Copies of this chain bind each other. A is one copy, B any other.
């Protein structure tokens, strides 16, 4: 198999609906060229809209991370789409015979070693691959909408899928920020959609019986269990409900509920009457808000929830941990290039959540960026996180910020730092923030830092090793003039 996580440069999407276009956006943001084949007239506009939404979502998810995008293009034939690609992802409607037919067409145009993934949400891979000449390279990779934001992908092979294919496609999906769930035993609906269908079918029954509306069913989830489900599934949640005695206690206590009539456990027939009722209730629930606006709301909420989970515990939790691993894996380009005289201490994009009611980056976000720049400087002089854990640190005792311009959503910012002065316990630095590629400062920050023994909560002399590193930088920087603004005080001059 030719697919290595880093070797996918060009991928074909066969079918460019919400799922296919979602894959394309995820690929493009990962630097992979994506070619969509979809004969429907609105495929192009949809894919471009979805890419725009995905860009916004990623800027929010990983505000300090630079991405170099792949190209999004559209092919007019299937053959053209799969030409020279390293990977194919099929995302056609859930019709077995249609998928089988198109998979055979794909196979006729790509080399035998190119892996073909299918986005099917429940059809069996053994059946989908049954007509292929090289079925060992066919595998299901079932994602969730929106594909560019939700990390889950279910990987399921058929009888003839090789282990190598499953491993390589999993490594590839992980390399583009996804969380792989191996479906070890082929089953209709795989794992996730069986659970989702159970909720859906029970919901249909409750609507049919007039117990609840679509809106009430949604509220029953989103204000309660849904909040837990964003990071802990049913089983870990119930383990907690069992208290210290754990799962066995929970089962002995709640097992009898299985005998209670608490689910209808039948799929009601989707009669026209029921379909009408659902559609009417759903219209009432949406209350005139368009699907597009709901998608924007969904992406904002998903982005914020995932970011929130990224800050849980030491390393993030659930989807937040996946995000942290992924964003760490993207190359940190801050240190790479630096033709400027001073230390490049921060580079990144302004996140939409940093914007205030005036439409500009809000005050304390400047200090957040400058604080991260200071952390970078400290790491450079050998006083990074290990040093803090060892019980020493530099504390900021004084800060002077000047606002000279404005930063807006998505703007790429650089911070460069000049070491102005130091003594046995103090460090005096000056940060300048510019828009990447421009010279006019947007803001400056001058800081005085004090070296402390944080366990004793006392100032302490800066160790020689670190003093040496400070002196080197300070000497380098001293050949340039001090910034005029340094040493300034605040006041109205009259």
A interface size (C-beta, 8 A): 161
Is A486's CB under 8 angstroms from B490's CB?
Answer: yes
Chain B residues with CB under 8 A of A267: 258, 263, 265
Which of A194-202, A342-350, A463-471 contacts the other chain? A194-202
Is A167 part of the binding interface, using a Cβ–Cβ cutoff of 8 Å? Answer: no
Instruction: List A297-347 residues whose CB lies under 8 Å from chain B.
Output: 297-298, 300-302, 304-309, 311-313, 317-319, 322
Select one of B216, B253, B295 contacting A181, CB under 8 A: B216
Is A212 part of the binding interface, using a Cβ–Cβ cutoff of 8 Å? Answer: yes
Closest to A252 in B: B275
- Chain A 215-253 against B: per-residue CB contact (8 Å), 1 yes, 0 no? 111111111111111111111111111111011100111
Closest to A144 in B: B224
Instruction: Report the minimum CB–CB distance from A128 to chain B (whole Å).
Output: 14
Number of copies: 2
Given the interface pairs A300-B312, A364-B371, the reply to whether A222 lies near B218 with Cβ below 8 Å is no
Is A209's CB under 8 angstroms from B232's CB?
Answer: no
Chain B residues with CB under 8 A of A437: none
Is A365 part of the binding interface, using a Cβ–Cβ cutoff of 8 Å? Answer: yes
Select one of B234, B322, B486 contacting A218, CB under 8 A: B234
Q: How far is the CA of A33 from the CA of B491 in the complex (A)?
A: 52
Is B199's CB under 8 angstroms from A421's CB?
Answer: no
Is A122 part of the binding interface, using a Cβ–Cβ cutoff of 8 Å? Answer: yes
Which of A65-73, A132-140, A282-290 contacts the other chain? A282-290
Given the interface pairs A188-B261, A228-B298, the reply to whether A403 lies near B393 with Cβ below 8 Å is no
Chain B residues with CB under 8 A of A188: 260-262
Given the interface pairs A188-B261, A219-B181, A226-B231, the reply to whether A240 lies near B295 with Cβ below 8 Å is yes
Is A239's CB under 8 angstroms from B491's CB?
Answer: no
Which of A82-90, A111-119, A150-158, A411-419 contacts the other chain? A150-158
Is A362's CB under 8 angstroms from B357's CB?
Answer: no
Q: How far is the CA of A423 from the CA of B311 in the complex (A)?
A: 44
**Which 6 residue pairs across A and B have the least CB separation, nearest first?**
A218-B233, A226-B229, A152-B224, A189-B262, A308-B308, A230-B230
Given contacts A198-B202, A265-B265, A395-B403, 7 further A-B contacts (CB under 8 A): A188-B261, A189-B260, A192-B225, A194-B206, A195-B217, A301-B312, A399-B403
